[in-house]
């Protein structure tokens, strides 16, 4: 099994095989994306778009990312940007900080718009980083999840913060 350092070095040595994805969402449970960002492993922008969800953005979520219902009322729907999302990802594997959450957000959007979910291949950077930090949680028998260092609660900002975490692990 790869250590976090070995994993991150392997990922960084194959930059054309990966991209980093992040979403800002309507909330926690049953959430849909309201902002989707994708960068390559050089930090270059591949997609940065706000989308209008089918549900309202919760006040707690607005307090975190600052994106209001008014801010997305004229944004395109997920259905309208879906092809752009798939094109930006291409055949790359996704690197996501808390992959299970963001993948569920994408599944929720596909379900809301009656779009077939493509079952992306994704790796969770948060789990690797949690192992790297090494704060063991005996209650759950795994490493304590770590907040994304330097994330700014924008999709692109969090993509770039995720890249910084991968680079930090590789250089350790």
Tell me the pLDDT tens digit for each residue of 28-78.
999 999 999 999 999 999 999 999 999 999 999 999 999 999 999 999 999
List phi, psi (to 5°) of 40: -90, -175
Domain that holds residue 29: 4-171
Give the chain's domain count: 1
The reply to whether the predicted model has a pTM over 0.85 is: yes
CATH of the domain at 84: 3.30.420.10
């Amino acid at each position: 099994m790869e250590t976090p350092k070995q994993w991150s070095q392997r990922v960084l040595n194959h930059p054309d095989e990966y991209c980093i994805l992040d979403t800002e969402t309507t909330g926690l449970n049953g959430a849909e994306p309201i902002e989707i960002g994708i960068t390559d492993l050089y930090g270059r922008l591949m997609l940065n778009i706000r989308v209008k969800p089918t549900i309202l953005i919760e006040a707690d979520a607005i307090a975190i990312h600052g994106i209001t219902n008014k801010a997305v009322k004229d944004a395109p729907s997920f259905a309208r940007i879906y092809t752009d999302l798939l094109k930006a990802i291409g055949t790359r594997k996704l690197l996501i900080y808390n992959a299970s959450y963001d993948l569920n957000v994408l599944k929720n959007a596909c379900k809301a718009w009656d779009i077939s979910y493509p079952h992306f291949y994704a790796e969770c950077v948060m789990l690797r980083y949690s192992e790297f930090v090494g704060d063991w949680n005996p209650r759950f028998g795994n490493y304590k999840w770590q907040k994304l260092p330097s994330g700014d609660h924008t999709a692109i900002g969090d993509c770039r913060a995720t890249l910084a975490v991968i680079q930090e692990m590789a250089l350790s």
